[in-house]
Structure 1
């Protein structure tokens, strides 16, 4: 959770002082995803239903890495996260926080949060697939 808070502070500082770079646009999401994966894997030991989030996240991030490199190679530009990616991050951190704070979370609430997060992850990857495919074909949005 502390890593997530420092990520927010880092983003604020970068924008506030105009210190945004292409390298930062690449490294920041990698650090975020490593943090998120570590949180999910730790929670998986207590909540086995976290497995779909881990699998979806792994597939999504593998796709994002490959397609992101292809987009950078074609356009020379590094694109930031879209609105749906930010919603996924918010839902993921919220889901993790609730599972950490509410030690005896009911299975129904746990599954509901995990399911909502999983659905939004799938929606997000589909939207990224559409966007990146259009970009690689040279189509405008």
Structure 2
């Protein structure tokens, strides 16, 4: 089964749309962010890194709004947007382990969650079904993640109790999202198997 076909792509209509360009920009700024944060020597470096994450988070919200409002939803965009999201979240989480060791918990849960969703999504395709877009709890988790990482970058000298509280809050919403997506996939698999037996 093909997830999408490039045979009939119109570059202007299907590839070089504003939402897709924004997703590509989010991916391209990751090496810049990583170079700055992993070699940070001053508050200014942290502020610049925080600014890049803020920009990334805003473009993440904008590309979806623009895609829906101006009918620029494409098959490439459906693939590119979540890839940009996951790469960005992973890059931020891993980079901050250098400053906050507790971030390893976040990295582990994030990787397990994304692998679960990737494998579950692929298995669902075998039944010609897929999850119908991001759910509210996924969006809330992503918003909390970006806000929390922005705080960690902007206030690296804040009391450790506050910083680790922020990490704990992020971990809570990530786990909540993981559990609720797990439930969604469970019901989707259950429905898919039921339909297969009835066919």
TM exceeding 0.5: yes
d(CA) in 2 for partners of 1:12 and 1:105?
34
1:18 is matched with: 71
Please, which moves more after superposition, 18-27 or 47-56? 18-27
What residue ranges of structure 1 are gaps of 5+ in the alignment? none
Residue 116 of structure 1 deviates from its aligned partner by: 1.2
What do the CA deviations read for 1:61-90 (whole angstroms, capped 9, x no partner)?
A: 000101112223323445211111111101
1:133 is matched with: 186
Please, which moves more after superposition, 71-80 or 81-90? 71-80
* Greater C-alpha Rg: 2
Residue 19 of structure 1 deviates from its aligned partner by: 1.5
Moved over 4 A (4+): none
Change (3 A) 1:19 1:77: farther
2:81 is matched with: 28
- TM-score normalised by the chain length of structure 2: 0.65
2:112 is matched with: 59
2:44 is matched with: none
Residue 106 of structure 1 deviates from its aligned partner by: 1.2
Q: CA contact under 8 A between 2:121 and 2:130: conserved in structure 1? A: no
Q: State the structure with bigger RCO (CA 8 A, min sep 6), 1 or 2.
A: 1
d(CA) in 2 for partners of 1:129 and 1:77?
13
What residue ranges of structure 2 are gaps of 5+ in the alignment? 1-52, 195-199
- TM-score normalised by the chain length of structure 1: 0.90
> What is the number of residues matched between the two proteins?
140
CA RMSD of aligned residues (A): 1.8
d(CA) in 1 for partners of 2:175 and 2:98?
23
Q: CA contact under 8 A between 1:41 and 1:54: conserved in structure 2? A: yes
Aligned ranges 1:1-141 → 2 under 5 Å: 1=53, 2-138=55-191
